[in-house]
């Protein structure tokens, strides 16, 4: 830890292909800037290069990121509607195939203790996702999740319990 407003982390992996990973986050209560860089020490190439800038207010978060060595650009916006509901939108642009994607979603907390949450998201690719999660304790929860791909008439369903 560098200070209250900055974090720096370095990792050296001693594997068959040793790597050096460096990440840092700087900012204050209104903005944050972070980056991550990973180097393959044997081949002397950059294997990961990501950067992100976030602008934060009490009820909103706006984030711009450049990932996968500048091949994926993402912009997202989250708005707290009230203490139990958050809405968000995310747009992505993939440089390699020049494709765009857009999704919107909503999360709502239920109960006096906010231990139950429901999430719903829809994307321009024709997918709709739903998740219900109930926390029994801080680290124990039950999850039901589903996804429907509207253009392919396929769906997925999952259950998870973590104790």
- What CA–CA distances, in Å, run from 84 to 64, 79, 98? 25, 11, 37
Structure tokens at 24: 């840092």
* Residues 28 and 85 grouped into a single domain: no
What's the per-residue H, E or C state across 27-46? ECCCEEEEEEEEEECCCCEE
Q: Residue 68 domain-assigned?
A: no
Q: What pTM, to 2 d.p., does this model score?
A: 0.79
| pLDDT the model gives residue 3 | 64
Q: Residue 66 domain-assigned?
A: no
* Residues 85 and 161 grouped into a single domain: yes
Q: Residue 22 domain-assigned?
A: yes
| pLDDT the model gives residue 1 | 47
| pLDDT the model gives residue 163 | 86
User: What is the span of the domain harbouring residue 161?
Assistant: 81-163
* Residues 45 and 87 grouped into a single domain: no
Q: Residue 75 domain-assigned?
A: no
Overall domain count for the chain: 2
10-residue stretch averages of pLDDT, the chain, 163 residues long: 69 80 92 94 91 96 93 96 96 94 96 91 94 90 94 89 91
């Amino acid at each position: 830890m560098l200070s209250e407003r900055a974090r720096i982390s370095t990792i050296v992996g001693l594997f068959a292909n040793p790597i050096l990973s460096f990440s840092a986050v700087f900012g204050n209560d209104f903005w944050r800037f972070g980056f991550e860089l990973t180097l393959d020490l044997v081949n002397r190439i950059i294997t990961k290069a990501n950067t992100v800038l976030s602008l934060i207010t009490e009820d909103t978060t706006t984030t711009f990121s450049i990932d996968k060595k500048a091949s994926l650009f993402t912009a997202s916006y989250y708005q707290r509607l009230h203490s139990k509901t958050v809405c968000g939108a995310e747009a992505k642009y993939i440089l390699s195939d020049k494709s765009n994607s857009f999704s919107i979603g909503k999360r709502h907390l239920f109960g006096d203790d906010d231990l139950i949450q429901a999430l719903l998201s829809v994307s321009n690719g024709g997918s709709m996702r739903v998740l219900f999660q109930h926390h029994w304790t801080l680290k124990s929860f039950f999850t039901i999740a589903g996804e429907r791909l509207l253009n392919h008439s396929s769906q997925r369903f999952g259950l998870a319990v973590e104790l």
